[in-house]
Amino acid sequence: MSKGWDFLVARDNLERSFLESSTDPAEQPLAPGEAVLTVERFALTANNITYGVMGEALGYWRCFPATPDWRGRIPAWGYARVSRSASPEAPVGLRLFGLVPMSTHFVARLQRTGSGYLDAATHRAGLSPFYNRYTHAKVDESFDNHRALLRPLFTTSFLLDDMLYEAEHAGTRTVILSSASSKTAMGLAWLLSRHGMKVVGLTSRKNLALLGGLGLYQQLVPYDAMAGLWVETPAVFVDFAGEPAVVRGIHRQLKDGLRQSTLVGGTHQRTPPSPKREPLPGPAPTFFFAPDRLRKRVSDWGLETFEARLGEAMKAFVAASASWLRIEHHRGPEALTAVYRDVVTGQARPEAGHLVWPDPTSR
């Protein structure tokens, strides 16, 4: 394999992955205004599987296009450094945090903004700034891993908590979360518990013991025991799994006792969802798109206040997770392939936080 490589997946079956050689970053042609960014490290979580599942519907495949177009490059949150530049706004050595491909490097047309940089490449036009923004990131080994692993996920947790805690949801007695072992669900459970909300987690039997010892959920129910689920109503269901049978089961059991049903992720899906959906008892499920809620709260509070509130909450969650979160480092393309297989098939352990370094010699 050359000095450059890309990790690709079949867009219609995320379990099929491919390692492909790419142009050596030292020989990558650049147009005026472009820069080569060498990927330092990125986090790999169930959230990346959701990006693949929703890649067509929400534009994630457009972040880093692949050829042929039946393959895709799943975006991941991490760090990259400008290694070559034909742009006065992107000096060599500039280190950035944002969405990167699962690759050794990528080309961006970095455009300076008031709060950092945007990739102004044509293929990324129209994407939400939430997914297209890069921030200057000085090396901080006491925080870098947690930012890559938790910041994007906890931002979604924070925005969901904000939505659920608004006045129109006053009176909700229980919040039910599927894929309770996903870190976004765990972050939301922690936030809701701080409000005194009862949180019920749906999970596989293999995760019951671990999750039960974390104190995040007041009740844990394995998927195969959902038929016996009883909760205080009115209740809200937040679906991170994207498993139609789970959604149907919750709706059929709670019916009008379900105040709201919110679809967030697709941790249990490896293929795009079917557009056909049967009518369900209770409220119609609605999709939660974090950038829309982010835009509303930044408008309401101002960016500085939003960042301060999010930062304070995340700092507390990182401290609370120190007793159970185990960060694991994976170096090189073969290690990426192995850990991706665990994540996409649901075999990754919930207490593990996976950081991938494309360069196997990185330390």
Question: For residues 199 and 192, is the Cβ–Cβ distance under 8 A?
Answer: yes
Backbone φ and ψ of 277, nearest 5°: -135, 130
Inter-CA distances, 289 with 140, 229, 286, 315, 343, Å: 30, 28, 10, 24, 22
pLDDT of residue 196: 83
- Domains in the chain: ranges and CATH: 4-139+325-357 (3.90.180.10), 153-293 (3.40.50.720)
Q: In which residue ranges of the chain is pLDDT below 70? A: 1-2, 166-170, 266-277, 363
- Tell me the pairing of strands 235-239 and 174-177: parallel
Amino acid identity at 19: L
pLDDT tens per residue, range 222-268: 999 998 888 988 999 999 988 888 999 999 999 999 999 999 876 55
As a 3-state breakdown, the chain gives helix, strand, coil percent values, each rounded to 5, of: 35, 30, 35
DSSP state of 103: B
Amino acid identity at 185: A
pLDDT of residue 1: 44
pLDDT tens per residue, range 16-62: 999 999 988 888 889 999 999 999 999 999 889 989 988 998 899 99
pLDDT of residue 303: 87
pTM for this prediction: 0.89
Question: For residues 187 and 154, is the Cβ–Cβ distance under 8 A?
Answer: yes
